[in-house]
């Protein structure tokens, strides 16, 4: 009986030892999951290749909205226009920015010599731009001679191919209108003399140009105040002194004289 118990006990011990060896062997021969994973799994480290950056969309250039050009009133240019007209030989009287009847005569002459509608109107923007952009007088399109514009009450003396003088005049008033005619200087009377038609009416440096109307002449008057900016004579053409003297000296017999226009 004791022998049987001894065998059983030995079998139990042997079984325990074998079971323990089996556990050790398993732990030694089974590959570590961690090691197997680290040695055989593909790398999960992100690639270091840099992707191209997208091209930025250019910001469109915004053009500033142009401000509307504000046109000044004609009066804004009046003083500059008067200075320029005087510089170019168009008489305006006082240069003070006030467009008087005298300045309107100059503007009327400017319009005529530049092919613009002829009138005695006041300053316009077209006038101002035309005058201020000019650098010299235009070249006449008419032959040499003396031209009297009754609309402007202006006389032009053309010598060669230039306007030698542009001066104020006063033609015949109502009932004594200077006729619109073309003639030639046929008589010159230097100095002062009394009119053969009107007592105590003195004429200076007279140029007679109509043989069939022998009393009509271009002449200076006793005082310049008689040369109005409107028709005021008795059919003759009154011219400022000393301008009439200079015109007289430069005008030979046979020079063309033309009267035209309406006031």
Residue 114 is among the residues annotated as catalytic for this protein = no
Find the angle CA(208)-CA(259)-CA(199) to the nearest 5 degrees.
Answer: 45
CA distance 241 to 218: 12
Pairing of strands 256-260, 145-149: parallel
Asked if residue 128 has a cis previous peptide bond (ω within 30° of 0), the answer is: no
Q: Give the alpha-carbon dihedral of 200, 206, 212, 215, to 10 degrees.
A: 0
Residue 219 falls in the annotated catalytic set? yes
159 backbone dihedrals φ, ψ, rounded to 5°: -120, 125
Which pair of tokens denotes residue 21?
């060896």
Hey, what are 223's tokens? 């005082």
Catalytic residue among 108, 193, 219, 245: 219
- Helix, strand, coil % over all residues of the chain, rounded to 5: 30, 20, 50
The one catalytic residue in 108, 193, 236, 245 is 236
Coil/strand/helix, residue 187: strand
Mind telling me the catalytic residues? 219, 236
């Amino acid at each position: 009986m004791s022998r049987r118990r001894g065998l059983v006990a030995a079998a139990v011990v042997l079984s325990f030892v074998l079971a323990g060896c089996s556990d050790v062997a398993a732990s030694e021969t089974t590959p570590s999951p961690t090691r197997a994973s680290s040695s055989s799994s593909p790398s999960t480290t992100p690639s270091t290749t840099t992707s191209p950056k997208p091209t930025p969309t250019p910001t469109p250039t915004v053009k500033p909205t142009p401000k509307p050009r504000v046109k000044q009133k004609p009066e804004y240019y009046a003083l500059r226009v008067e200075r320029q007209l005087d510089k170019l030989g168009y008489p305006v009287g006082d240069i003070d920015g006030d467009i008087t009847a005298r300045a309107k005569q100059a503007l009327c002459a400017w319009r005529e010599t530049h092919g613009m509608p002829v009138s005695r109107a006041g300053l316009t923007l077209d006038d101002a731009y035309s005058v201020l952009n000019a650098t010299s007088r235009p070249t006449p399109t008419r032959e040499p001679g003396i031209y009297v514009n009754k609309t402007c009450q202006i006389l032009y003396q053309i010598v060669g191919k230039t306007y030698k003088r542009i001066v104020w005049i006063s033609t015949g008033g109502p009932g004594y209108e200077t006729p619109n005619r073309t003639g030639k200087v046929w008589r010159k009377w230097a100095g002062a003399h009394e009119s053969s038609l009107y007592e105590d009416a003195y004429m200076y440096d007279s140029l007679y140009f109509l043989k069939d109307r022998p009393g009509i002449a271009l002449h200076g008057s006793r005082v310049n105040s008689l040369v109005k900016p409107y028709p005021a004579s008795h059919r003759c053409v009154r011219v400022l002194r000393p301008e009439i003297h200079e015109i007289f000296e430069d005008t030979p017999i046979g020079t063309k004289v033309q009267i035209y226009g309406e006031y």
